[in-house]
Amino acid sequence: MIHLRNFIIAGLLAGVLFAGTTACAADMVRQPAAGGDPVAGKVESGMCQGCHGAEGISFVDLIPNLAGQHALYTAKQLRDFQSGARTHQIMSSISKSISGTELADISAYFAGLKIMQGDGSGENPAAEKLFRNGDLARGIPSCMSCHGVNGKAPAIATYPVIGGQHKAYLRVQLFHWRSGDRSNSPDGVMNKVVKKLTDAEIESLAGYISGR
């Protein structure tokens, strides 16, 4: 119960911090861990491992890696699937089969695994420039300012690790943010970020980020 309470407080804190930040504060300290028990989480995540991998690396391009992902981010996604703030045929139903404590434990388990790593593919100067600097003239912010160098999200636990994530999964998420099919980011920030990206830019960004 104490774990769960800490977890909720940490979540609220992260929400408040985010609400007060329009740009990204890369110098901010990492949020406290979600407070789950990773040892229990390893057992409780048995039904997840068939798809997401025992080590949090999936073998299907459309199923995201969870290895090294921030516990607070993973926990938020699971709660969003439970509440309907984020929808997906499989995850919406599976997420409802776990309790609040299991959700925190499982998130802690995957967070503690060796972080997902790209294979260096997807080199693309235009995508790299967009990732690092954005495009001020078109109102596209730097991805790196929030997601960190190589998309490894050092600053704030609500900004997910994206570097080394599967390309097909990244592509789908970027299209869904742009169309509004996914709209669960704080203040709709990701919907705004990707609004001006072209199909070709989404394709090359997904490849570039996946390779990091």
By CB under 6 A, name the binding residues for ligand HEC: 24, 45, 47-48, 50-52, 62-64, 66, 74, 76-78, 88, 90-91, 94, 98, 106, 140-141, 143, 145-147, 158-160, 162, 165, 170, 172-174, 184-186, 189-190, 193, 205
Q: Which is nearer to ligand HEC, 5 or 96 (CB)?
A: 96
Q: Whole-number minimum distance, CB 163 to ligand HEC, in Å?
A: 10
Q: Whole-number minimum distance, CB 6 to ligand HEC, in Å?
A: 19
Tell me how far CA of residue 206 lies from CA of 39, 79, 117, 151, in angstroms.
33, 25, 14, 11
Residues 6+ apart with CB under 8 A from 104: 3, 4, 7, 34, 35, 36, 37, 41, 71, 75
Q: Which is nearer to ligand HEC, 67 or 119 (CB)?
A: 67
Nearest one of 62, 51, 60, 52 to 171, comparing CA atoms: 62
Q: What is the C-alpha separation between 183 and 114, in angstroms, rounded?
A: 29
Q: Whole-number minimum distance, CB 10 to ligand HEC, in Å?
A: 15
Q: Whole-number minimum distance, CB 11 to ligand HEC, in Å?
A: 11
Contact 26, 94 (CB under 8 A): no
Q: Whole-number minimum distance, CB 199 to ligand HEC, in Å?
A: 14
Q: Which is nearer to ligand HEC, 6 or 191 (CB)?
A: 191
Q: Which is nearer to ligand HEC, 15 or 32 (CB)?
A: 15
- CA neighbours closer than 13 Å in the CB half-sphere of residue 204: 13
What is the maximum span of the chain, computed from C-alpha positions, in angstroms? 49
